[in-house]
Chain A
C-alpha cells in the first residue's frame, strides 16, 4: 500500500484556502485594479535595448530631455541593458523617433527598439475579446464534458478552471504585474491545462464508478480518494515536466515572454492544486446528493 492521505476528508480546509485567496484577489482588484499594459490601455510602450548597462535615472533623463510626455521607466535585461518606457499617451511617429535618436546619440548604433502602440478604442475591444474567449472556451468545455461524462463533472471542472484563471489574475493584481495580450494567451493555456489535468482524475473516477457499489457518502468519498491517489504520480510528474518548461522560459527566455512564463508558472501550480484538491471533492459533494435522495426514497 502506498502512502496516502485523506484528501476528501480535508476538503473544507482546501475550499477555505481557495475562497480566502479568491476573496483577497477580489479585494485587491477592487482597490488597485489591474496594471494594464498598452494592449488594454491606450498608450505607447518603447522597449529599448541599449547594448550596455544603463541606470534608470539616466534613461529617464534622456526621455524627458526629448520633451515627450513622462513615462514609467523600468530597467531590465541580464546586464540592465534594456529600458522599458511606458507612456500613457499615444506617441506620434516623430516623438518615437526623437526618443530613439537621442538614445542612439548616447549609446551608438547598437540601440535597438521595440515599439507598441494601441489606440484606446482598439484596446477596449481587445479586453472584451479576451473575456469572451475565456467564457466561450468554458462553454465549449462544459458541453464536451457533459456529453462525455456528466454535467456534474463539467460544473466541477469549470469551477476549478475559473478558480485557476482567477488566481493568476489576482496574483498579477497583487504583485502589480503588467497585463497584456500574451497574458491572455497564458490564461487560456492555463484553462486548457487545468481542465486537461482535471479530466484525467475524473476519467479515473468514472472508471472506478463502473465497478463500485456506492451506497453511502463514505463509499463515494473513498472512491474519489482512491481515484485521486491512483493518478497522483501521473499528476505530479506531468506538472513537473510542464513546470520545468515554463521555468526555463522564465529564466532563460527572452524578456518579451517573461510575464507570459510567469503567468504560466502561477497557473500550472494552481491548475495542479485545483485538479486534486478542489475539482474532485466538489464533484463528490454534488454527486453525494443523489445518494441521499435515492436513500430517502428507499426508506419511504
Chain B
C-alpha cells in the first residue's frame, strides 16, 4: 500500500511540476533565427591595406565594434562571434530594416583623432600597424604607447593643439580625450590617464584595429522573415504533438501497464529536455526541434528494450520481481552501448557543424543523456514501485499471455 502511494505521489508531483513550469519554460527558451525571423551573416575579414595581416586581436576588436554598431542601430541582442582565423558571425533577430543594418555593419570601423572642434586630424591609417601597446610610466601606471607613420604630420597636429584635447573616436563613439601637453616630434606618443591595465589594453587594441581596418565580405547569409519563422515553429510544434500522441497510444496498446509508465517517462523526458535546453541557454532551432521529436522516438527505444527483456524473463517462468530485476540489469548494458555510439556521432557533428547544425547536435546529445535518466532510471523506479505494491500481478498487464510462460 505504501508503495502504490509513493507511486501515485511521485507521478502527481512530477506532473504538477511539469504543469507549473512548462508555460514559463516554453516562453523563455531562446529560439533560433529560423523560428522567430532574423538574419545570420558570416563575414570574412580582409585587411584593407595591402600586405596587412588579420590578427586575433584585430578580429576580436572588429567583432566588438560590430556589436556596438548593431546595438547603436537599435536591434536587440545581436550575437557577434569571431570564428577561426578571419571570420565573424553575426546573428540578429527580428530586424525590421535588414538592408540598413547590413550596410551599417559592413562599413569598415573608422578610427579618428579629433580636435576640440570635431575636425578629424588623424585617421586610423596614419598609425603604424600593431604599433600601439600598453606600457607603464615611472609610477608603474598603465599607459598607451602609439607610433605614427609620419612624424612630421603628427608634429604639426600636436603643435596646433598643444594645451587642448585630441579625442579618439571609433566611428562616432568617443573612447578617450587625452590632452596634448607639448608638440611631439619623433612620432612616438604616450597617452596617460587613470587607466586600469584592461582599459589601456582595450584602447591600444582599438587603435591597432583602426590602423588596420578590416574589410568585411559576406560569405554566407541566411535571413528568415518573422512570419515565415513563426509559421515554421507553429507547424513543427504541431507535428511534434501529433507524433507524440501516436507514440503514446502505440506504447499503451503494445505494452499495457509498462506502456503507461513509458508514457509518463516520455512526458517527463520531454519536459526535462526543455528544462536542460533552457538551463544551458541553448538556442532551439528548427533542426533542433526535429532532433527533439526524433529523440522522443529514440527514448521510447530505451523503454522498449527494457520491457521486451522483462517479457522474455517472464516467459521463461521467472517471478515478476526477478524478471524486473534481471530484465533491467540486462537491458541497461544494451542501452548504454547503443546510446554511446549515437553520442559519438553527435559529438562529431557538433565539432564540425556550424549554426543550426550545432544546435541539432547539441539537442541530440542532451536528449540522450536526459533520456538515460528519465527513461531508464525514473521509468525503472516507477515500474519497481508498481510491481512491489502487488496490485498488478497478472502477466497480461505486461503484455505476456499465460500460455506463453514456460515452467521453470
Contact = CB atoms under 8 A, between A and B. Distances in A.
B246 A244 contact: yes
Interface in A189-203: 189, 191-193, 195-197, 199-200, 203
B246 A248 contact: yes
Interface in B309-345: 312, 330, 333-334, 337-342, 344-345
Contact of A196 (B243, B251, B341): B341
A179 interface: no
B345 to A, nearest CB: 4
Contacts of B246: 244, 248
Interface in B338-362: 338-342, 344-349, 352-354, 356-357, 360-361
Contact of A203 (B296, B337, B354): B337
A246 interface: yes
B12 interface: no
A23 interface: no
Interface string A115-141: 111110110001001101100110011
B242 A252 contact: yes
B236 A114 contact: no
Interface in B190-233: 218-228, 231-233
Interface stretch (B53-61, B148-156, B161-169, B297-305): B297-305
Interface in A249-264: 249, 251-257, 260-261, 264
Interface in A240-286: 240-249, 251-257, 260-261, 264
B239 A253 contact: yes
Main secondary structure of the interface of A (DSSP, over half): helix
A192 B187 CA distance: 62
Contacts of B330: 207
A47 interface: yes
A254 B251 CA distance: 26
Main secondary structure of the interface of B (DSSP, over half): helix
A119 B345 contact: no
A233 B308 CA distance: 8
B364 interface: yes
Interface residues of A, number: 71
Nearest to B242: A248
Interface of B: 34, 37, 39, 42, 44, 99, 102, 218-228, 231-233, 235-236, 238-240, 242-243, 246-247, 250-251, 254, 286-287, 289-291, 293-294, 296-298, 300-301, 304-305, 308, 312, 330, 333-334, 337-342, 344-349, 352-354, 356-357, 360-361, 364
Given A192-B341, A245-B243, 13 more contacts: A114-B225, A115-B223, A122-B42, A133-B349, A141-B341, A182-B357, A189-B294, A195-B338, A242-B294, A242-B301, A249-B240, A254-B235, A257-B287
Q: Closest 4 interchain pairs by CB?
A: A112-B225, A242-B297, A254-B232, A248-B243
17 contacts: A49-B228, A49-B231, A114-B225, A130-B352, A132-B352, A133-B352, A141-B341, A184-B357, A185-B287, A185-B361, A188-B348, A199-B337, A238-B300, A248-B240, A249-B239, A254-B235, A256-B286
